[in-house]
């Protein structure tokens, strides 16, 4: 296992956190600030409270890297629940159609302007399926809304779908095998 703390020459650092479900990314950054005593703490991409996984926390002078690192691609493992019956063939064909550039509008509850955006789904892989529960691996641009992706896949299939669970497995070059658990 790689070190979850990376010290930079300029006096800053990076801590790779396994964010649990429950707290916001901002709360986790505040806990790191409290535990380390470092005043300047930031992160490279918000995870909703109900989402777990890789959260890259920057300390001190490394906070300057936020504008660069938050733009890097992300990878997620997503449990999607279909709201109706769909054949395996139709599901696989539809998932394939969502690879590439897609249009997305941020959700109503989003803190950002709800303008239509183009995002790229670099890989969309069907890992497994148990009846209406579908496990997906999504490698995508930063800023992609996976909940919206699930919704749109469901609409395209004609049965509806929603995101049941989500975990970020990679952020930029940082992956789950490098993260530090808060437990």
Q: What CATH number labels 5-70+173-181? A: 3.30.2350.10
The yes-or-no verdict on residue 5 having pLDDT over 80 is no
pTM of the predicted model, to two decimals?
Answer: 0.91
The two tokens of residue 151 are: 């919704």
User: Where do the domains of the chain lie?
Assistant: 5-70+173-181, 74-170
Q: What CATH number labels 74-170? A: 3.30.70.3190
Give pLDDT tens digits for 109-161. 766 677 899 999 999 999 999 999 999 999 999 999 999 999 999 999 999 99
d(C-alpha 50, C-alpha 23), whole Å? 8
Give the confidence band of 7 by pLDDT, cuts at 50, 70, 90: low
The residues annotated with a catalytic role in the active site are: 48
Structure confidence at residue 64 (pLDDT): 86
Alpha-helical (H) ranges within the chain are 25-36, 66-69, 88-97, 146-157
d(C-alpha 37, C-alpha 99), whole Å? 43
Structure confidence at residue 55 (pLDDT): 96
5-70+173-181 and 74-170, same CATH topology: no
């Amino acid at each position: 296992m790689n070190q979850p703390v990376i010290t930079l020459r300029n006096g800053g650092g990076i801590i790779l956190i396994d964010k649990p479900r429950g707290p916001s990314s901002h709360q986790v950054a505040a806990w790191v600030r409290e535990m380390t005593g470092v005043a300047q703490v930031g992160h490279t991409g918000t995870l909703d409270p109900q989402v777990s996984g890789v959260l890259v926390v920057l300390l001190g002078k490394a906070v300057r890297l936020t504008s660069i690192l938050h733009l890097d691609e992300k990878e997620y493992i997503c449990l999607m629940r279909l709201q109706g019956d769909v054949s395996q063939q139709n599901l696989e064909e539809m998932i394939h159609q969502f690879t590439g550039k897609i249009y997305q509008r941020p959700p109503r509850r989003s803190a950002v302007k709800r303008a239509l955006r183009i995002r790229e789904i670099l890989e969309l892989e069907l890992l497994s399926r148990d009846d209406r529960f579908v496990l997906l691996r999504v490698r995508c641009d930063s800023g992609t809304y996976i909940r919206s992706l699930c919704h749109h896949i469901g609409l395209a299939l004609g049965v509806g779908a929603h995101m049941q669970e989500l975990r970020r497995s990679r952020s930029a070059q940082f992956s789950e095998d490098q993260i530090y658990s808060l437990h």
